[in-house]
Amino acid sequence: MGTFFSEPGWLCLTVTAVLGGTILCKLKTSPGQVGRKVVCLAGLWGGACLISLSLFWGLVLFSLSYFIMYTYFSGQELLPVDQKAVLITGCDSGFGHGLAKYLDELGFTVFAGVLDEQGSGAEELRRTCSKHLSVLQLNITNTQEIQEAYSKVKEKVQNKGGVPMQKMAAYGSSKAALIMFSSILRQELSKWGVKVSVIQPGGFKTNISGTSQMWETLERTVLDNLSPEVQEDYGQDYILSERSLLRLMKTCTDPDISPVLLDVRHAISAQSPFAFYAPGKLSYPWLCFASFSPTGIFDYLSRKIHSYDKKMPRVLSTSNWENEAM
């Protein structure tokens, strides 16, 4: 108690309060969720110091942690968007569509690449956005369209300074490859002063899940093209039960994509953008858990999370399948 009421104790409390208030003020002007997570970690670390050490030294380290956070956030000030150009792919719908609108409202020069420049998504962008947004026909698998888009962007800006999830094997693999590609690109381009950031969102509601009509067509296509042996092993009931994933994605995903937009804004506007962003509820803790937890524990929890999927392939539901396999 004597240490608490001593001059050093009061000084540490004062410094902590001032730095904490300053950081909270900075958070109001810093978009995205990463800063809040960092401050929470600093608070937890400071709290551990207070518990494990004497009051005086605990307050010293607690104040030091907030000083480090203050220094850290000094490099997170957002730069002005005037005359900054951004190229976005996949703007027909989903994240790309929402991001194009959001950055246009902020004043960026936006090049919105779409798969169909005559489609409803492209028409909506032309109708609702400012003259600073340009819609580009851009299929990233089409070399000619990439070259044409490059020429249009160059012409307009030349005079300005410019977690494993079940049933997601193909999608997850492509994103894992993109993350590795971006990570290597970040290292290779750093000597040129080019910054590369990866944004890995959690569960948000986009058009990736498709519609009931699309799933009916896909189911019919799958059933018509499967070999008799595969259909016999899996069974039609099991294949059709995969539609439960569509219902899950519609009910359990967040329709508010603003956390993604805020993190993208930070990545393209901050003086020192982060290398990795994970917007969405519990997305960052879940990624950390998937990376560092024992495989057995992760697989067990994953099975619990996917407990909605109780259907078994036909051959596994029979009593003598193990004997047949032998």
- Using pLDDT thresholds of 50, 70 and 90, give the confidence band for residue 38: low
- Tokens representing 141 are 């698998």
Cα dihedral 317/319/324/326 (nearest 10): 100
- Residues 254, 203: contact at Cβ < 8 Å? yes
Highest mean pLDDT among 146-155, 205-214, 245-254: 146-155
What's the number of CA atoms in the CB half-sphere (13 Å) around residue 92?
Answer: 13
Residue 27, pLDDT > 80, answer no
DSSP string, 254-287: BS--HHHHHHHHHHHHBSS--SEE--STTHHHHH
pLDDT number for residue 120: 92
Q: What is the mean pLDDT of residues 210-239?
A: 81
- How sure is the predictor about 158, in pLDDT bands with cuts at 50, 70 and 90? low
For residue 54, what pLDDT is reported?
62
Domain boundaries in the chain? 7-74, 80-162, 163-294+308-315
249-289 tens-digit pLDDT: 777 788 888 888 888 888 888 888 888 888 888 787 877 78
In the structure encoding, which two tokens stand for residue 16, read together? 């902590």
Distances (CA, A) of 233 to 36, 169, 321: 49, 20, 10
Tell me the β-bridge partners of 276.
198
Which pLDDT score is estimated for 14? 64
Residue in 150, 171, 300, 308 annotated catalytic = 171
Mean predicted confidence (pLDDT) in 83-106? 88
CA–CA distance, 61 with 40 (Å, rounded to integer): 15
Residue 101 has pLDDT above 90, yes or no: yes
Q: What is the mean pLDDT of the chain?
A: 76
CA distances from 51 to 56, 168, 187, 206 (A): 11, 44, 40, 45
Question: Higher pLDDT residue, 317 or 319?
Answer: 317
| Whether residue 150 lies in the annotated active site | no
DSSP state of 119: S
User: What CATH number does domain 80-162 carry, 3.40.50.720, 2.70.210.12, 3.40.47.10, 3.30.70.560?
Assistant: 3.40.50.720
Question: What tokens were used for 126?
Answer: 């032309």
User: 58: Cβ–Cβ under 8 A, 6 or more apart, which residues?
Assistant: 46, 49, 50, 51, 52
